[in-house]
Amino acid sequence: MVEVLEKQNELSKSLKSEAKRQGFNPVGIAKLPGSERIQMRTSALQRWLSAEYHGNMKWMEAPRRQNVESLLEGAKSILAVGLNYYVDINRAPGSLSIARYAWGVDYHKILEKRLKRIGLWLQKQRPNCRWKICVDTAPLLEKAWAEEAGLGWIGKNANLINLKTGSWMVLGYLLCTEPLTADKPSTPSCGQCQACIDACPTQAITEPFVVDARRCLAYHTIENRQKELPNAIKSSIGSWVAGCDICQEVCPWNHKSIPSSKDQDIVPKQWILQLTKDQVLSWNDKEWKNKLQGSALKRIKPWMWRRNALATQGQINTKNK
């Protein structure tokens, strides 16, 4: 029995080292079915759905989201990884705002490609092991499992926060049938702070840890398929045309010495840092298609970009028109 545990510990340590070689940090392991905290997070999801805080995101209702074992038969462990997307650079003065997670290459592709390499590595070590990649398109309680694996805690703005790297990270998972050694779950460290709650211009954070997507700028600029944005969103949108980082920008954990990513896949596209209202409104659909190639921003259709831009506070340059 001791020998079995030693081999399990060794494999777990090596797996996390492989994940770090792929550029992930932090990394951690959780064991299925998880602790009581997972049950608590699952109950919280049910309450959130019952309150219809998910708006039109009907995929959040998938029953499989509340039963991780249904994603991979015989799954015993989850490798959770974080990818830092913070780059110490600012957009051009007067340009429109785009959430930092989408400044570089589509993070779904980055995560899937690198997690596949890790899965193949694991398969070489344990030929009978089966595994499955999950990113945020999969019906998985992703932040809850990241918290369970020790990557960070879920903050009052519902983002995952790490002590060293803050909240500027996207998450990925490798489910596997191999028994691995679990890491200690993270301890919440928001304390009495409610900077994110106070800063939200639409009061979308209705109470600590609860976000009503129907009031959220990110939801409306990315997910809302209506021709017109609600008046409450228009009056609060500021310069945000794709997503919103306000609750992360004010978080004290993001004001520390956050590492700036050197990952080439994270390097911002110049047009994203310099986007103007005139450009958004003048580019035709073909130009938008070219700009959005390989970007997570493809989810926002050209007509939505124009709709969002018209609601921003930036002025349209009417000279030479």
Active site members: 136
Give the separation between CA 252 and CA 166, rounded to whole angstroms.
9
The helix/strand/coil state of 280 is helix
CB contact at 8 A, 180 and 8: yes
Give the separation between CA 101 and CA 2, rounded to whole angstroms.
44
Q: What angle do CA 140, 144, 148 make, to 5 degrees?
A: 120
**Nearest CA to 143 among 129, 162, 165?**
162
Composition of the chain by helix, strand, coil, percent to 5: 40, 15, 45
Q: What angle do CA 150, 152, 156 make, to 5 degrees?
A: 140
Give the separation between CA 155 and CA 200, rounded to whole angstroms.
14
User: 200: which 2 tokens?
Assistant: 């939200």
